[in-house]
Structure 1
Amino acid sequence: MSGDERSGAKSVDPEQLWLRPAEPRRGRRPSFSRETITAAAVAVADAEGLDAVTMRRVAAEVGAGVMSLYSYAPDKETLLALMVDHVSGELRITDPPSGDWRADLKTVAHLQRAHMLRHPWLPAALTTRHVPGPNTLAFLERVLAVLRPTGLDGAAKLEIFAQITAFVAGHVAHEIAQAAASRSPDRAAAEARYLAAVAADGCHPELAEALSAPGRPLTPDATFTRFLNRLIDGLDTG
């Protein structure tokens, strides 16, 4: 979904979107639904990225006229909100909270990471403010239950949820970019030579020391877990 297409969109009306039936405004009942439209948009985004998601493309995917889609998603921001909430239905915490909120919160973060890797467009989509839909609210409800043992007030618990989600989204975006860069061996070799030269120039002693330290496992899973542990273990609940 390109930036120029979204630029003229109005803000999403959460009452209209989430509290009222998704029925067409006029005319005969079509052979598709808001769920069908949203699923088609998600499939396009999964395969080709957000820029490929246009109303015209989604209409072609469901076999509808472009104008008929506006009865269900009146603008691109609404469609994006529907897409985010649609895939949020995959986020399911099946086990009750263990009472160890840090361990449970790490489980939540790993679940979010796997979810965003399945839908690589999500980190970018989450940078746009959305009023959460029913699937997102169901997931948030479970996370707030995980945080109950902290004794924090509601605002602080919501902040922790936002903090962890932002961390995961940023990490996954970086992870995807790094994976793309690693497919270019020449670029990776050039970066390694550059850092080695900088470390040896005598002007960056702290960097030289850091680069000479024993390496840690650099697999994506190990790196994410290491960063996540530092974040959650350091959360202050005082």
Structure 2
Amino acid sequence: MDDLRKSHHAEQGKERETVPQDRGAGAVGVDPEQLWLRPAEHRRGRRPSFSREAIVAAAVTLADAEGLDAVTMRRVAAEVGAGVMSLYSYAPDKETLLELMIDHVSGELTVTHPPSGDWRADLKAVAHLQRAHMLRHPWLPAALSTRRVPGPRTLAFLEHALAVLRPTGLDGAAKLEVFAQLTAFVAGHVAHETAQAAVSRSPDRAAAEARYLAAVAADGRHPELAEALSAPGRPLAPEATFTRFLNRLIDGLDTD
């Protein structure tokens, strides 16, 4: 979100500036103006039988099923029945394709009602929407760590989150920071939740971890950890755990 704010101020301050159109040596990241404000073009000749939307949808399906490593231009081209080179008119590299994928699935983050005015409750609802969204697309937490400027579908959800925060009286920069902090928390939690689910499907590994922690707690060198581990457990249901952590985060936010 800091990148978004800085980009906005830079745009306000510049006058006549020529923006290079090619991403040659030294270029960093995806050009959001080129990606989001200009329509995708196809090469000359016969119009292809696929679209950028179809390419992105195929990439999302691959990522959902097999993870981000499975998403290569060759695999995506095979999914849509196209030659690899023809894809580059729509997504010149995997970094651009990833931005398109993130924004594509962000269209699922639909909000059907305006903020209630109870910003803490509304912000918790935003977080629960994000968690469900990332669980549907487990590749998202890793992908979000690399993205810079949100696309149009993502902006619609961001607009709602900023409206939720209006009653706090925070300035614009602080509201963007809160949203970034919340998104980072949800992404980190979902990544951990997904990893723990994988461990739970492996009883031998789970038992080995339990034995290890028991040994550490009993070695006499970690009294604080031993005390913490001996305390009564909390409900381990994923939803309950997420809600508990989320409440600590949002209820403790300082808006002064």
Listed as ranges, the gaps of 5+ residues in structure 2 are 1-25
Moved more, 195-204 or 64-73: 195-204
> Which among 112, 121, 124 is matched to residue 142 of structure 2?
124
* Residue matched to 1:30: 48
* Cα-to-partner distance string for 1:158-192 (whole Å, 9 max, x where unaligned): 00000000000000000010010111111111111
In the alignment, what sits opposite 2:116? 98
Instruction: Confirm or deny that 1:51 pairs with 2:69.
Output: yes
Give the alignment's TM-score, normalised by structure 2.
Answer: 0.88
Partner of 2:39: 21
Where does the alignment leave 5 or more consecutive residues of structure 1 unmatched? 1-7
- Runs of 4+ off more than 6 Å: none
Are 1:135 and 2:153 matched, yes or no?
Answer: yes
Distance 1:150 1:91 in 2: 23
Give, in whole Å, the separation in 2 of the partners of 1:14 and 1:222.
Answer: 38
TM-score, with normalisation over the residues of structure 1?
A: 0.94
Correspondence 1:176 to 2:191: no
Q: CA deviation at 1:203?
A: 1.4
In 1: Cα distance, 2:56 partner to 2:232 partner: 48
Q: CA deviation at 1:15?
A: 1.1
* Letter paired with 1:116: M
Report the RMSD for the aligned CA atoms in angstroms.
Answer: 1.3
CA-CA distance at 1:21 after TM superposition: 1.0
Of stretches 189-198 and 21-30 in structure 1, the one that deviates more from structure 2 is: 21-30
On the 8 A contact 1:41/1:53 being kept in 2, the answer is yes
Partners of 1:70 and 1:52 lie apart in 2 by 18
What's the % identity of the aligned pairs?
89
Partner SS for 1:61: helix
Q: What does residue 201 of structure 1 align with?
A: 219
Is the deviation greater in 186-195 or in 74-83? 186-195
> How does 1:212-223 map onto structure 2 within 5 Å?
212-223=230-241
Q: Name the CA distance, whole Å, in 1 between partners of 2:27 and 2:135.
A: 28
CA deviation after TM superposition for structure 1 residue 28, in Å? 2.1
Query: 97, 100, 110: which one pairs with 1:79?
Result: 97
